[in-house]
Amino acid sequence: MESRSTITIEQNDTIDLKPPYIILSNHVTNWDPFYINCYVNEPICFVASDSLFRKPLLKPLLHYVNAIPKTKYKSDTRTIRGMVNAKKENRVIGLFPEGNRNWDGQTEPIPLAVSKLVKMLTIPVVVAKIKGGHLSHPRWAQSFRKGPISISFEKILDPNQIEDLSTDQVLQVIRQSLDHDERSWRKETEATYSGKKLANYLERYLFICPDCKELGTLRSKKDKLICRVCSSSVTYTKAGTFEKNGQAADFLTPKDWNNWQLEELRDMIFSDSTTRTFQERMKDSVKLYRADQDGNFSLLSEGSLLWEDRSILFMGDHNLEQNFPIVKLDGANVQMNNRLEFYLEESLYSVVFHHPYTSAYKWLQSILYYQEKQAFEEDGVLL
């Protein structure tokens, strides 16, 4: 990876630090664990998504490095046991508190559970902050871009401080230390990231056209994102910004665009007047998988995924139908950029979209907004 990017270490407080200690890092690329462990003398026991343990090629490696499995967005006591054992064995623990790669280079909110974990372990806390990683390989992208990456390792808490601070105070320190906005950092450094087909697969992230406001009509081609309905287009630049006809576009960055589209999507979900149009756009060709008790997925069928009034409907081969009540879905998340996973009761399902440009992020956000809407209605909140 170093041949693609110039990596600079701004600060490294781990050099003279003896384990056990925990490293908390922002999460921007799939290579973050490798970036971090290259500059830490001790091997790191990373907390990793259990989905990675289901991959035949990765599973032996993860066990070899004593990685600790974690089920995303669900409480998992085995993860706690694994971290306590790592502490007893004087290991370095690695954790990405966001729980997932962020989409726009802005650190996601850190949950309270992280500070509770830090209070429980009571070992030194180091924050590894990766800058430039998002622009070198945005989550929605298929390929790397060549440009600078900067990493700092800062010890922010020692055991005495952890004992003296409340859980909320520990959380505040962690959030402040991990906070990073890639857009602001790039503006200060004027860094650029070069590569081929810079906009390819951007429609995995951006799914509403700002000109015609149609959903699911955007397609990427080389460095452009084009609407198939109104033909409007923008160019994605080496600076990670948008241009339109050589001028600044309505939205300067994907983050700005996403902030706008999420408001539009929420209005679609909450408004009865747009329900029919929304449902027409929410139809994709997929393969549906279900995990067994060991977490291994098996194919149920190929078919179509559709959005109904209160549920997601899968219509598969041989008249197979599977109804997923949206309010009962748990732990919904995006895996591998364009794979949607969720639990229904105790069963884990994985939806693999047939077309690689399909936005699983669109489906995830729609599910979350619908669940929010139902929660409001049940609580009698006036919208």
pLDDT tens column, 121-142: 999 999 999 999 999 999 999 9
pLDDT at position 302 is 97
Q: Name which of 80-84, 222-226, 373-377 the model is least confident about.
A: 373-377
pLDDT band at 72 (very low <50, low <70, confident <90, very high): low
241: left (phi > 0), else alpha (psi -120 to 50), else beta?
beta
- Between CA 267 and CA 66 the distance in angstroms is 45
- Between CA 182 and CA 312 the distance in angstroms is 35
Q: Does residue 220 contact residue 201 with C-beta atoms inside 8 Å?
A: yes
Q: Does residue 32 contact residue 60 with C-beta atoms inside 8 Å?
A: no
Average pLDDT over every residue of 66-80: 74
pLDDT band at 115 (very low <50, low <70, confident <90, very high): very high
Q: Name which of 72-86, 99-113, 147-161, 284-298 the model is least confident about.
A: 72-86
Give the tens place of pLDDT for each residue, 320-355. 999 999 999 999 999 888 899 999 998 999 999 999
pLDDT at position 54 is 60
pLDDT at position 1 is 44
The pTM of the full predicted model, rounded to 2 decimals, is 0.90
pLDDT at position 62 is 62
Residue 301's alpha-carbon distances to 51, 320, 321, 336, in angstroms, are: 20, 8, 10, 20
Q: E strands along the chain, which residues?
A: 6-12, 21-25, 44-49, 68-70, 92-95, 125-131, 148-157, 218-221, 224-227, 233-236, 242-244, 247-248, 283-291, 297-307, 311-316, 321-325, 329-335, 339-344, 347-353
- Taken in order of first residue, the domains within the chain and their CATH numbers are 6-189 (no CATH), 202-272 (no CATH), 282-377 (2.30.29.30)
Closest C-alpha to 343, from 71, 30, 91? 71
pLDDT over threshold 60, residue 64: no
Average pLDDT over every residue of 306-317: 94
